[in-house]
Structure formats: structure tokens, C-alpha cells
Amino acid sequence: MMTTTLWSIPASTLSTDDLKNKATVLKQRLLSITQRFSDVRFATSLAAEDMVLMDAIIESSIEIKLFTLHTGRLHQETIDFIKTTEDHYQIQIQSVYPQESNVALFVNQYGLNGFYDSEEAKKACCGVRKVKPLTTALMGADAWLTGQRREQSSTRVELNFEELDDARGITKFNPLFDWAESEIWAYIQQEQVPIHPLHLRGYPSIGCEPCTRAVKKGEDLRAGRWWWLQSGSKECGLHVQP
């Protein structure tokens, strides 16, 4: 029987000095953001990129508020990893939940797992469980951070460090926009950053449990996200400009 080789954490040939330089630039970027804006927030999924950002934020002792979107459909591993991360860094990560009434409306219209049926239903579910809660969590902020990188998918190749979040009228930063996957993992290994357990089981990208699966070696890093939809539909709406 032929066995499938899953994605695995890449080896890195990055030198210690090169990694130190990358980390220094990252921390300088974060510091410049907090010098320009008074209320900066970071929505972390606890996947690899977001763990690099969180580590750099905490190591820099800068004031950036941390929260995660607790969608109600997360893997148990993600829920457990929130506590692991809080214990490791001695911090508290705010959990932001969707409104129960909005979830009920979605379920009544589409069914609990109706997102499998169409692009429209998928967008509606993400809207209720992620997009609306994010908008609520960012109320009052003047800037927010993401762990997006250009290399992650075809929809992110033109990603910039700074952009305007038109939907919310605030500035959005992608401090890791120019980082390679191998550089992300070199930082994690060098700095002994906690690793989400699903990364060790073939998941390069982690979202809600019903909508995320492991990917084969050589596949697009986001191929496991909403795998039943066409390749161009790998965004939930958090980062799509109107």
C-alpha cells in the first residue's frame, strides 16, 4: 500500500547571524508600530507565524494587546495550546467569541456544517465566527497585526508591510510579510518557541477543525484550508479588502 507523505516542518540552513538579523529587524518593525500608534492589537491563531510574532512582542516588552478568535469550531489541540502558550509566557490571551444569536441564524439558514455546500455558505460561516468577532475585538484600536506572509499563497504574493484595513478604517501591519517558511521555523527552533501540536501532524496552516486538514508534501501551504473549494478560495474574509 502506498503511503502519503505529509508536509513536515522544514529544515533551515539559516545561519545564527542571519537569523539574529531577521529577528532584530522584526523587533524594530514592532517597535516602530507602537511608536506611531497608541492602541495596537494582535489577532493570533497560535500557528507558527503568529507564535513568532508573539514571542518577538513579549521579548521586546512592547505594549500590544493579544487576542484569539475562539470560533466555537476550533480543534481541541488549539484550545489546549492557548493554555500552554499562556503558561509558557506567563500572559493572558483574550478569547473573542462569536455572538450566539448570529451563530443560530447561520445554523438555521445553512445547517451546522452548511459551509461544505457552497462558497456563499462558507463566507457566511466565516463572517459570523471570525469576521464580525474580529471587528468587535478591534473597536477602539488604531492598528492591528497579522502573521501573513507573501509566500503562503497566491492570494498574498503582493502583500505589503503596511496597508489600510478599509473595512475597519484602521492600519494593518504584516510584520512577517517578507519572511520565508524556513526562516519562521528557524526562529521557532532557535528561540524555543512553543509549537502547535498540529504542525507536527502535517498541518502547515491551522484554522477551524471542520475546515482544516493536513496537506501532502509539496502542496500549497494553505491547501488544507477549505480544501473542497477551488484553489482561489483560501481566505476567510479577515484579510480581503472590499
List, by residue number, the catalytic residues: 236
Say if strands 65-69 and 162-165 run parallel, antiparallel, or are unpaired.
Answer: unpaired
Are 222 and 211 within 8 A, CB to CB?
no
d(CA 239, CA 5): 31
In 75-150, at which residue ranges do the beta strands (DSSP E only) sit? Answer: 94-96, 143-145
H-assigned helices in 171-223:
181-191
The contacts of residue 8 (CB under 8 Å, 6+ apart) are 202, 217
* 167 closest CA partner among 239, 236, 232, 67: 239
d(CA 208, CA 133): 15
d(CA 63, CA 61): 7
Q: What are phi and psi of 164, to 5 degrees?
A: -95, 125
